């Protein structure tokens, strides 16, 4: 089948299935912004669902006809596009609907990073043909900082993540009104599942016996398609070991040099510079996020070992089969993801390390406005004192007075010196904090 005929089939076939039933998400995309809407995020986190929600809204509320929707998923192996043949998309649509002007069309391009040199095509279409363009991608070259040059400030970015805990509760039918005693018990139980299972939408809705298999498949695709193929990695096995090694060290400063020496002592052949490249590449595909140490000086901030956090607890669990002592790491990773997904454009996120340590330092225009410790429980007196001491040292160093300790279930206020420390269950804190904004 010729490519143009395939395109016509895909475009009209998608239109025939509209509108589509889809679970709502917290993040909502604007319908008529006159900007190119970009949605970066890890594979399978629900980026396509955001498109379907917009399309349903266009049809039901804006009176847009199905024929005005042009949706293509570039992850389809039958579609091999580059700068020379991308225009066939417009040709195919015009032949299907010669009476519809492209300026009245809403274009949705899913996983567009699979097409080579797509940026000039999108820019040309935006400037000459259509102002209703939505694109997703599973690589951080979708980030606004990268697109600022190629698309010249025409974009509005909305990063998507796997489900927040509030969204997870909605997906599995748990009422989040924790003031009702029987609801509160269900919320706590749901959070314990979410903590280990993570928030990929498909996994949340799957039957238990399939969840691990789905997560393993996600990792396989991320490793071999997004990482090995895209970055032309010749020997994937050391990379797989390296990824698992970083995952096992989540929440702690990670020395890439130390991991290199471990691999070398075990007879694993991989260059040190290769490992530094790989950790950047894993961040580009949204497998890991790095966290720098808080320093008033930007120069010092960029130096030193980083902490790494994983995009999803379930993905980590299925790769490492963690023991019960990993609950603290899973809890901190879940808190990081919640902070990261809600981070606004002017805010920064770091960790503090002096004589003591504090897990998270949140800044607003470089001023520290919140300090957070995460621990599974405060029942052990040594743990309790360590968390308090770390917060107090960070507070005295930064001048911040908004101090929090997040645990699995405990709730209290601790008054020490002239400070008040708020202790909250992580699930309640997650349900209370919700603020999403576009990255421009």
pLDDT in tens, 260-281: 999 889 888 889 999 999 999 9
Residue 40 to residue 191: CA distance in whole angstroms:
26
Q: In the structure, what pLDDT confidence band is assigned to residue 437 with cuts at 50, 70 and 90?
A: very low
Reference 376, options 347, 405, 401; nearest CA is 405
Q: In the structure, what pLDDT confidence band is assigned to residue 329 with cuts at 50, 70 and 90?
A: very high
Does the structure show a pLDDT above 60 at 301?
no
Q: In the structure, what pLDDT confidence band is assigned to residue 144 with cuts at 50, 70 and 90?
A: low
Average pLDDT over residues 111-127: 92
Strand (E) or helix (H) holding 208: helix 208-221
pLDDT tens digits, 61-104:
999 999 999 999 999 989 889 888 999 999 999 999 999 999 99
Reference 308, options 324, 279, 284, 288; nearest CA is 288
pLDDT tens digits, 230-247:
899 988 999 999 999 999
Looking at every residue in the chain, the average pLDDT score rounds to: 92
Distance of CA 412 to the CA centre of its chain: 31
Residue 88 to residue 12: CA distance in whole angstroms:
15
Average pLDDT over residues 119-144: 89
Does the structure show a pLDDT above 70 at 343?
yes
Q: Which residue has the higher pLDDT, 407 or 301?
A: 407
- What DSSP string runs through 330-342? HHHHHHHHHHHHT
| Alpha helices, H only, 1-87 | 3-16, 47-61
Q: Is 33 exposed, middle or buried (0-12, 13-18, 19+ CB in 10 A)?
A: middle
Three-state SS for 267?
coil
Per DSSP, 294 falls in state: P
Domain boundaries in the chain? 3-157, 167-432
Q: Compute φ and ψ for 70, nearest 5 degrees.
A: -115, 105
Residue 230 to residue 223: CA distance in whole angstroms:
10
CATH value of 3-157 in 1.10.20, 2.60.40, 3.40.50, 3.30.70: 3.40.50
Does the structure show a pLDDT above 90 at 397?
yes
Does the structure show a pLDDT above 50 at 390?
yes
Does the structure show a pLDDT above 70 at 292?
yes
- pLDDT cut 70: percent of the chain above it: 93
Distance of CA 116 to the CA centre of its chain: 23
Does the structure show a pLDDT above 50 at 217?
yes
Three-state SS for 347?
strand
Does the structure show a pLDDT above 70 at 19?
yes
Report residue 182 as tokens. 């029987």
Can you give the pLDDT at residue 321? 77
Q: In the structure, what pLDDT confidence band is assigned to residue 299 with cuts at 50, 70 and 90?
A: low
Can you give the pLDDT at residue 85? 92
Task: Report which listed range, 66-70, 248-252, 258-262, 314-318, is most confident.
Answer: 66-70
Can you give the pLDDT at residue 296? 81
Report residue 82 as tokens. 């580059």
- pLDDT cut 90: percent of the chain above it: 81
Q: Which residue has the higher pLDDT, 117 or 63?
A: 63
Can you give the pLDDT at residue 358? 98
Whether the CB-CB separation of 368 and 400 falls below 8 Å is answered with: yes
Average pLDDT over residues 215-221: 96
Q: In the structure, what pLDDT confidence band is assigned to residue 148 with cuts at 50, 70 and 90?
A: low
Does the structure show a pLDDT above 80 at 363?
yes
Does the structure show a pLDDT above 80 at 145?
no
Does the structure show a pLDDT above 90 at 200?
yes
Q: In the structure, what pLDDT confidence band is assigned to residue 345 with cuts at 50, 70 and 90?
A: confident
Can you give the pLDDT at residue 300? 59
């Amino acid at each position: 089948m010729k490519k143009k005929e395939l395109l016509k089939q895909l475009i009209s076939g998608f239109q025939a299935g509209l509108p589509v039933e889809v679970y709502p998400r917290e993040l909502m995309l604007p319908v008529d912004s006159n900007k190119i809407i970009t949605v970066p995020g890890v594979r399978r986190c629900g980026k396509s669902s955001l498109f379907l929600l917009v399309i349903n809204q266009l049809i039901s509320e804006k009176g847009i006809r199905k024929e005005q929707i042009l949706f293509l998923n570039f992850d389809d192996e039958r579609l091999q596009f580059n700068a020379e043949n991308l225009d066939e998309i417009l040709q195919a649509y015009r032949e299907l609907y010669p009476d519809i002007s492209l300026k009245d069309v809403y274009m949705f391009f899913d996983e567009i990073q699979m097409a080579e040199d797509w940026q000039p095509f999108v820019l040309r279409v935006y400037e000459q043909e259509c102002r209703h363009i939505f694109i997703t991608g599973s690589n951080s070259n979708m980030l606004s900082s990268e697109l600022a040059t190629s698309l010249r400030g025409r974009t509005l970015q909305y990063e998507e993540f796997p489900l927040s805990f509030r969204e997870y509760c909605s997906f599995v039918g748990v009422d989040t009104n924790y003031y009702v005693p029987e609801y509160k018990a269900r919320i706590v139980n749901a959070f314990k599942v979410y903590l280990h299972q993570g928030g990929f939408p498909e996994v949340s809705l799957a039957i238990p016996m399939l969840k691990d298999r789905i997560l393993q498949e996600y990792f396989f695709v991320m490793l071999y398609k997004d990482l090995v193929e895209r970055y032309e990695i010749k020997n994937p096995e050391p990379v797989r070991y390296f990824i698992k090694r970083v995952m096992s060290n989540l929440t702690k400063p990670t020395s890439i040099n130390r991991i290199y020496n471990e691999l070398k002592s075990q007879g694993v052949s991989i260059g040190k510079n290769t490992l530094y490249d790989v950790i950047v590449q894993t961040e580009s595909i949204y497998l890991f996020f790095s966290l720098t140490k808080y320093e008033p000086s930007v120069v010092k901030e960029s130096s030193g070992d980083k902490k790494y956090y994983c995009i999803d607890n379930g993905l980590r669990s299925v790769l490492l089969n963690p023991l019960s002592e990993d609950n603290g790491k899973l809890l901190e990773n879940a808190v990081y993801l919640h902070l990261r997904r809600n981070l606004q454009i002017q805010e920064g996120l770091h960790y503090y390390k002096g004589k003591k340590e504090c897990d998270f330092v949140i800044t607003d225009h470089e001023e520290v406005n919140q300090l957070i410790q995460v621990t599974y429980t405060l029942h052990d007196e040594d743990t309790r004192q360590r968390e308090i001491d770390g917060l107090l040292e960070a507070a005295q160093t930064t001048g911040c007075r908004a101090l929090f300790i997040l645990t699995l279930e405990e709730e209290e206020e601790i008054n020490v010196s002239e400070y008040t420390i708020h202790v909250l269950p992580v699930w309640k804190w997650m349900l209370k904090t919700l603020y999403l904004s576009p990255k421009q």
